[in-house]
Structure 1
Amino acid sequence: MATQHPDSTVKVSVQEEVGEAIQAYTLFGCDEVMVDYEGKLTPYAQPKEIVCKAVELGLPVGEGFFLTPRLPNPTLEEWERTMLSLEAALLANYYSRRLAGADAVRWVVLPMVEDVDTVRLVRRVLERKAAVYREELGTPSPPAQLVPLLEDVRALLEAERYVRAVAAGGEVRVFLGKSDAAVKSGHVASSLALAYALSELYRLEREEGVKVCPILGMGSPPFRGGLNNPSLAQIEARQYSGYWTATVQSAVRYDATYGEFLKVREA
């Protein structure tokens, strides 16, 4: 999953982010791009614009290339920004259905999750908005799945509870973040909490048959997890085995050589 993290020395303007998303697939081999609205004034038309450009270039939208918006958390930012970000995701699917016959957005990420009630609230709003598109516009898309992003030690230790809040049969994704957890609680505590979360999610899957597909969010420095660090990627991939998706952040795409990037991708 390619992200729009501002952690590189290369500045990518909002106007360049559509091209950046295409490049994430064509050059870096990322099959998923996180369009970021958290604390960031990303245009609400951007997911739709990426869809249109990807279809024009023949990318497998909704089959091998996906967009996953990260919403503003309504407990931390204005509620209308959450609503508009959800609308952006649904609009992208409206166009991807028309142009490619598939859904470009299958998941949306809710960051900085600290309580189950907010997760359930945003999920209900998403489902109701999706129902309007189906009933009024004839878009046959099911609602995108809400993915809770757990970014502190306490939330990581309660990962199972958040998974249960969004599980609705089939596969369920949960996003486990290292950086913010490390800032709040330190490197050791955040590392142990993340490993514990992966272990508990595996237990849940084994005992109850819930298919859990964790996303691992890490940067390049060891404090941020090291999974994007060419020198550490193989070690960290083994240490946190059990994840399905890893973020490929800006620093490893722009501040490392392509050969170094390939070491990270192959880890």
Structure 2
Amino acid sequence: MIPRIMSTQHPDNYSIPFFASTPILEGEDEITEAFYAFSVLGADEQMWDFEGKEVDEFVVKKLLERYPAFFKKNILGKDVRLTPRVPNPSVEKEEAKLLLETLQGVARSADYARIFYGDEIAPIFEVILPMTTSVEEIERVYWLYKKAVAWISREKIYDITVREWIGDFFPEKINVIPLFETKAALIKAAKITREYILNRKDEIDSQRVFFARSDPAMNYGLITAVTYVKKALYDILRVEEELSIPIYPIIGVGGPPMRGGMRPDNVDAIMEEYPSVQTFTIQSSFKYDYPARDVVKAVEKIKSTKRKSPIPVEIPPFLANYEAEYQKQIRILAPHINRVAKRIPRRRKRKLHIGLFGYSRNVNGITLPRAITFTAALYSIGIPPELLALNSLTDSQLETISEYYINLYEDLEFAMKFFSPKIAEKVGLKELAERIKEFKPEQIPEYIEEAELVFKEEGDIMKLAQLRGFLG
């Protein structure tokens, strides 16, 4: 069973979950959240995010102890999955040792499951490696688990082996899911995956790969992100056909088009846009900003639909101009983004995160918040990020893009409802405002009026989030 729905802990919600003890979800509330995602919403996988945030290391023990009836019927590790996202030591030096601690927790969780089920069941047997850029990074995690966790039972400590003293370490190996987040990584994703599969060809019967949507969009613009993710999906299919090993893509999608457009009322469009994806993420806004019945129906629709072939894509050469204009406009907007970001409410307890352009970092003199806050800030001042650099594309070029980006015009129309020409011109984006006027968009006056107040450091940011249906 390869999951179709992965519940995640991305903090893009404006509503506070009914079970939350505080507006900032952490600790015990996230244990409850995992059970809610499995038992009520119908998710068949929960990401447990050690990368950039604090989570409970004893999640398996607590789930089995608190909800025994559910997990006796729905076996953790078989019927439903819990999959950690671990730190990448190549990028996150400060969190490097947490990788080893997390991998040791895999074996500890298996001990709890053995007691609970009376059988050798690994409740966790895969980990997600963020910001993957090479096959070596994947191999290091694979071998770190084998040598530092599974095989440690062979070592002799003073007068006794670890196996005799502490017991066996199970499972004997884990699967590593590479998460590709940059343009360069997306270009190389198929090559890296192919090499890793060839290294493991005698051990695996399938492989999962994970493609980010939020950070590529933040770093290079919406259209570039969609283009490169779709190209990677198409290239992965060719590797699957060549090696005759099933490859199951995961895509990380949030509510606004900038972050994937994954909303309960938009799942048909998402499945049409990414037909070859096996696993779709449902983030916090999807789960909590809509009626539970609508969420359940959307989840059921995805789970009842089988994946299809990807859409062939070639990278249009004119995207280079689009990316350059996008970066130029981001430089103009950066002071306003950072000013408004301070007013965006927190929804998860996060650690300081060091990483890409999309992760609070200084790049070429520009410091920006994480992708969700970045998106929320721009929507809150009436400049949805999906629209940036649209003035660099002709109608003919948009038609070319729409041949593979199926919902291009629908996504742009969605964002245009919340666009303020007045604010765009005020910050120096007159060409963008004029280009958007050519589309004669239907707009929401109430929203735009409030966004213009937020720009002046007045207005209600949460009212705007409710009007559009997500925080960021």
Rounded to whole Å, the distance in 1 between the matches of 2:11 and 2:250 is: 19
Query: What does residue range 18-97 of structure 1 map to in structure 2 within 5 Å?
Result: 18-55=31-68, 57=70, 58=72, 59-77=74-92, 78-97=95-114
Rounded to whole Å, the distance in 2 between the matches of 1:82 and 1:106 is: 15
> What is residue 146 of structure 1 aligned with on the other side?
176
> What is residue 268 of structure 2 aligned with on the other side?
234
Rounded to whole Å, the distance in 2 between the matches of 1:111 and 1:52 is: 30
Q: Structure 2: state its 5+ residue gaps.
A: 1-5, 17-22, 155-161, 303-472
The answer to whether the 8 A contact 1:55-1:61 is kept is no
Rounded to whole Å, the distance in 1 between the matches of 2:175 and 2:114 is: 17
Rounded to whole Å, the distance in 1 between the matches of 2:293 and 2:75 is: 26
TM-score normalized with structure 1 length = 0.92
> What is residue 6 of structure 1 aligned with on the other side?
11
1:132 equivalent to 2:152? Answer yes
> What is residue 193 of structure 2 aligned with on the other side?
163
CA offset at residue 84 of structure 1? 1.1
CA offset at residue 75 of structure 1? 2.3
CA offset at residue 124 of structure 1? 1.1
The answer to whether the 8 A contact 2:150-2:170 is kept is no
> What is residue 291 of structure 2 aligned with on the other side?
257
CA offset at residue 220 of structure 1? 0.9
The answer to whether the 8 A contact 2:190-2:236 is kept is yes
CA offset at residue 51 of structure 1? 4.1
TM-score normalized with structure 2 length = 0.53
Rounded to whole Å, the distance in 1 between the matches of 2:62 and 2:173 is: 20
RMSD of equivalent CA atoms: 2.0
Q: Which moved more, 1:130-139 or 1:71-80?
A: 130-139
TM-aligned CA distance change 1:64 to 1:54, over 3 Å? farther
1:98 alignment partner AA: I
1:141 alignment partner AA: P
> What is residue 180 of structure 1 aligned with on the other side?
215
CA offset at residue 73 of structure 1? 1.3
Bigger radius of gyration among the two: 2
CA offset at residue 231 of structure 1? 3.4
Q: Which moved more, 1:54-63 or 1:69-78?
A: 54-63
Runs (4+) off by over 6 Å = none
1:17 equivalent to 2:51? Answer no
CA offset at residue 38 of structure 1? 0.6
CA offset at residue 263 of structure 1? 4.7
Rounded to whole Å, the distance in 2 between the matches of 1:126 and 1:66 is: 19
CA offset at residue 165 of structure 1? 4.5
1:109 equivalent to 2:123? Answer no
Number of residue pairs matched by the alignment: 266
- SS class of match (1:68): strand
Q: Structure 1: state its 5+ residue gaps.
A: none
Rounded to whole Å, the distance in 1 between the matches of 2:153 and 2:281 is: 30
1:122-147 C-alpha deviation (Å, 9 max, x unpaired): 22102221233687223452322011
Rounded to whole Å, the distance in 1 between the matches of 2:240 and 2:112 is: 35
